[in-house]
Amino acid sequence: ALGFDWDPIATTWEEQLRKLEVYKHRHGDCNVPRGWPEDPSLGAWVGTQRQAKGKGKMSQEYETKLEALGFDWDPIATTWEEQ
């Protein structure tokens, strides 16, 4: 096997999901701030996931994986409800 990645988008998505799992373990939530100094791309990716779901462009598989991790689709509303 040459190790060719036939689906680089899915590979990147899974890599970001693993990073998000580490973030949640450390911080207790999945609300990575945009521009987070430790990994700015992770914060941007989290925002992209929220946008994709909001536009109905997220696969059920990805949505299920994020929800299993406790992903907050609307952290502003969650914060508002907690006040």
Judged by DSSP in three states, 54 sits in: helix
pLDDT of residue 10: 78
Nearest to 51 by CA among 70, 66, 68: 66
pLDDT of residue 2: 67
- Prediction pTM value: 0.83
What does the pLDDT average to over 49-64?
A: 96
| CA dist., res. 48 & res. 12, Å (int) | 13
